[in-house]
Amino acid sequence: MGYPVVSGSKNYSSTGANNTSKLIPQIWSNKWLTKFYANTMYEEISNTDYEGEIKQKGDEVIIRTVPTITINDHEDNQDLVYEQPESPSVSLKIDQGHYAAFLMPDVAAYQTDMNAMNKWAEDAAQGMKINVDKNILGSIYASAAAVNAGLTAGADSGGINLGTTAAPVSVTSANIIDILVERYSVCLDETDTPDTERWVVLPPALCARIKTSELKDASLSGDGQSTLRTGKVGMIDRLHIYSSRHLNVATGKYDVIFGHKSALSFAAQITKMETLRSEKKFADYMRSLFVYGFGVLKPTQLGHSVLTLG
């Protein structure tokens, strides 16, 4: 519908009634409408230590762990007791995959004034990352060690309330900093987790609680570029804070995760985007494949907390 005209008058627009002349053309923009994508941060909170070993072949990496050697008291002239150290191995399996596939007929490709295939490919790549992020962030919370979850968390203290589905912790601007410092950081301290490369992933609503807390924005040290790129909000007490909409949530209860980069291992084995001709149609096909695996190899460096908005 063009600009309105009085009933009975000639309509020179290309749309609407009484528009035989069509003197006013429609203009199609040669620019795409900007599409916004969800932040992804699985690459920020995971390591790729074993990706190189499985990049070209195999579907599982068996990883040896270091045993804990027993330390005994000693008295002069006593007989020594020798142990045979043993520790279980852990594995990283390549068992996840996503694909995208679409086509463009030759006639449409020739007649259109836009390079649609390239733009669709960009969208597929972004969508692939989002699917991976949802898969990882929405599931790994179940692999956290028992000492870093529940109502009695803490390897030493045993009395840290991280919340459960039945009894979640209500979060407000008044207690969010205490939760991060006195609960999450302490749990990691009590499992000898290194100070560097610690992280926590919070939903946007809980990140807002930080920004309205007693520390406000002065507590945050993230830069604008990293926030736009990865959802990184800042850092509080050695915890790099990330905002994500991909955490598991049910009836307002968020399965928040925190930990160290060594806890979660990720490996991408196949990343492929290819264009091919159709055998039965005058058309180009484009398809992409992403095959990967992830696993929590160090559960004691991963924490799980169930929070609600207070």
pLDDT at res. 241: 93
pLDDT at res. 252: 96
Q: How many CA atoms lie within 13 A of 19 on its CB side?
A: 16
Cα distances from 206 to residues 50, 56, 203, 237, in angstroms, run 33, 41, 6, 17
Binning pLDDT at 50, 70 and 90, where does residue 226 land?
Answer: very low
Q: Is the pLDDT of residue 2 over 90?
A: no
CB-neighbour burial class of residue 310 (10 A; exposed 0-12, middle 13-18, buried 19+): middle
CA 305 – CA 178 distance, rounded (Å)? 14
Binning pLDDT at 50, 70 and 90, where does residue 221 land?
Answer: very low
Binning pLDDT at 50, 70 and 90, where does residue 228 land?
Answer: very low
CA 77 – CA 79 distance, rounded (Å)? 7
Percent of the chain at pLDDT > 90 equals 59
Q: Is the pLDDT of residue 22 over 80?
A: no
pLDDT tens, position by position, 33-57: 777 778 888 999 999 998 888 877 7
Q: Is the pLDDT of residue 6 over 80?
A: no
Mean pLDDT value of segment 155-166? 97
In degrees, rounded to 5, the angle at the alpha carbon of residue 194 between the alpha carbons of residues 191 and 198 is 95
Residue 149: DSSP 8-state: S
Structure tokens at 6: 């009085």
Residues 199 and 233: beta-carbon distance below 8 Å: no
CB atoms within 10 A of CB 38: 14
**Kind and range of the H or E element at 109?**
helix 106-111
The residue to which tokens 């000639």 are assigned: 10
